[in-house]
Structure formats: structure tokens, C-alpha cells
Amino acid sequence: MDEKLKEQFRAELMQDILPFWTGRMTDPEGGFRGRIDGLGVPDADAPKGLILNARILWTFSAAYAATGDESLRATAERAAREVIDRFIDPVHGGAWWSLDAQGRPLGRKKQFYAIAFAIYGLAEYHRATGDGEALVKAVELFHSIEAHSYDPSLGGYFEAAAEDWSPISDMRLSDKDRNDAKTMNTHLHILEGYSALYRVWPDGLLGERLRALIALFLNVITGPEGHLRLFFDENWKPQDEVRSFGHDIEASWLLCEAAGVLGDDALQVLVDQASKHIAAAAAEGLMPDGSMAYELDPATGRRDEDRHWWVQAETVVGCWKQYLLTGEELWRDRSLRCWDYIKEHLLCPDGEWYWSIKDGHPNTSDDRAGFWKCPYHNGRMCIEMLSSSSE
């Protein structure tokens, strides 16, 4: 990648995305605000989510590691303290789903998707700073997932538990999701968190579980056409046929990264082949303007063509990774066309990105920053593209 293009990603990260989070999302009372709405107005009463805070932690830790900017380290430390001191349950272990606006436990369930992100952020913080407490907490959270979510009979991980780890009837990640025992999304981000932890703590059991997660994606979660199946019952029977193009393209490169940290050449060959298959399926969502549609339900023909911020960010990275993997210029062009779409349509004039482009217009009904709207997808896009060494 030439320096002019790298400078675009550097500027987007350092002059647009990160300053928004340090300047407008920092809570004077501690930690970070829970929400800024789609018009840029802070919500002082919004709850604070573990996912948001763990993703802030990962983003600023990774950005600090990439740039050496000490101001980024300070924000990463602020996020680490928020996760360790406020979200981690000192009685039962694991981490709570949410806090109220004053930082007190609110949503006390244990959603393993969210705990995986806490591992992801803490492991990256340790990697960037050498902080020993962060590694200890990440390892404790890994053992919590293994003790309370892992299915020893059929493999994989269940979705959620109550505060004391007892069974819970509503395991949904959000109101928009199905209430199923196992999901692709939780497994993808446990894989992501475990990959980050294995880089800094190459434990035998962790490596075994990471291999098993990769095998699940290759043999169970990925369908014959290359699309990821999204929802499963406890016996791994698929529960729907919806195609999520953003998750397809994201998984295509996260799986390669997971295999890479294990250092197994034979496994890497298998995963690289699967990656090409998944990415080709994801490309079915590419639009004529270079962007990526959200999803398709082949059972009904319903196609959601909103251009969500995170889907576009993952498309830039995923297509670029396919270019590095295959050497095919088509993937490079797809990556950079989507980046052009982002620059033209998704960047907010006063910082960060819109949630989506809906019917050709910026979506200001959904958050600019909040429970789900975090700096992780777009910040990671910039960091990954800056680390690229290929023309």
C-alpha cells in the first residue's frame, strides 16, 4: 500500500475516530458516557455496556501499540480500569452486561459474547502495555467461559447465564435476535478473544479450544455455499437461512488470523482455502457503488440494503486481506471502492461515522456512539490497513 493511501487511514484514525471518543465520550464522572445519539447529543442517563467499554479498551490499546502515542495509552488505561473495577463481578466472576449511568451494576446477566470482548480488550491492553493485572483478569474470564458456557458433549458455547451462572431462559444478544442456544456471532467473537489471548498467553487448553472453534466454523457454521449460518439449537441444527454479508467478510479474515496465532502451517492452508470460499460468498452482497448490503433472507427474498457502518469497515479489511492472500487485483479494487464509499457517505462532519446509510441518506435515528456503536470496527479497519505491507 502506498504512503498516500496509508496517510488517509492514519488521518481517519488519529484525526477523526479517536478524538471523538476521547473528546466527546469521556465521562467527567469516570469511564465513558453510555450514549451519544444520531444527532450528536449526549445522553447523560444512558446505561453503560460491557461491549462498548471492552471495544473502547481494545481500540485504544491497539492504536497505542501501532502508534506509540502516549495520549492513547492514557485512554486505554481509563478503559481498562472501567472494565476491571466496575464490570467484573467480584463475587461470582465473569462480567456484568451493563452498568447504570453512575457506574453501578444494572444488567447482571452473563452474556458470553460480551465477556469474550472483555478478554479481547484486556489481552490487547496487556500486549500493548505489559500490564500484568489485565492478563490475569483476561485469563480468569477465559476460565469463566470454559466453566459455564462450553458444551462438553457437542462442542461450542452456549449464549448466556444468570449472574450466578444458573440457566437463563432469555439468551438473546439483543431484541432483534432469535433466542437460540448457540449462535455464529458469539462463536466468532469468542474465537477473536481467544486469538488475542493466545498471542500473549499460549496455554495448552486455550490452544485446544481455539482449534476446536476453527473446526466448528469450517465444518458446521459455514454452509455449503460459503455463507455463515447464524442461529443453531443446542444440537447444532441450523435455525434460519439469513445471510449476513458483513459477518461473512469479517469471518473470512478473522479465521485466518486465528490460525496464524496457532502457528500450524497445515491448518493455515485449510483455513486460507475456507477463507476464499467465505469471502466469495460475502461478495454477493457487494453493491454497484462499492458498498456492502446488510443481509439477505433467501427464504423470503427480503434484502436489507442499508449500508451499516461496521459492514463497510469489515468489507475494506476483508477484501484487502483477500488481495494479500490471493494476489487478485479484484479484491484490492473492492476494498478501495468501499473505502471511497465510506469517505463520501458515512463520515460525520463533526466526528465518527453515521450508523448507516438508509435509502440513500445518513441514518441519524440510530446512535453515533452507544451500546453497540463503538470505535472497534472502523478503528480496527484503520489499524489493519496501516499495518499492511503490500502494494
Residue pLDDT tens, the chain, 391 long: 889 999 999 999 999 999 999 999 999 999 999 999 999 999 999 999 999 999 999 999 999 999 999 999 999 999 999 999 999 999 999 999 999 999 999 999 999 999 999 999 999 999 999 999 999 999 999 999 999 999 999 999 999 999 999 999 999 989 889 999 999 999 999 999 999 999 999 999 999 999 999 999 999 999 999 999 999 999 999 999 999 999 999 999 999 999 999 999 999 999 999 999 999 999 999 999 999 999 999 999 999 999 999 999 999 999 999 999 999 999 999 999 999 999 999 999 999 999 999 999 999 999 999 999 999 999 999 999 999 854 4
237: left (phi over 0), alpha (psi -120 to 50) or beta: beta
Long-range CB contacts (< 8 A, 24+ apart) of 330-339?
331/279, 334/283, 334/286, 334/290, 336/5, 337/290, 338/290, 338/291, 338/292, 338/312, 339/8
The number of angstroms, rounded, from the C-alpha of 148 to the middle of its chain's C-alpha atoms is: 22
C-alpha cell at 330: 479484484
Specify the pairing of strand 110-111 against strand 160-161.
antiparallel
What are φ and ψ of residue 269, in 5° steps? -60, -45
CB 217 within 8 A of CB 275: no
Q: How far apart are CA 130 and CA 146, in angstroms?
A: 25
Full-model pTM:
0.98
C-alpha grid cell, residue 258: 486465528
C-beta separation of 229 from 247 below 8 A:
no
- Domains of the chain plus CATH, in order, are 3-386 (1.50.10.10)
Instruction: Provide the pLDDT for residue 12.
Output: 98
Name residues whose C-beta falls within 8 Å of residue 160's C-beta, 6 or more positions apart in sequence. Answer: 109, 110, 111, 112, 168, 170, 171, 172
Write down the pLDDT at residue 388: 82
Q: Are 251 and 217 in contact (CB under 8 A)?
A: yes
Query: What residues are paired with 362 via a beta bridge?
Result: 357
Place of cell 502457528: 263
Tell me how far apart the alpha carbons of residues 215 and 183 are, in angstroms, rounded to a whole number.
Answer: 15
3-state secondary structure of 286: strand
In this prediction, residue 176 carries a pLDDT of 84
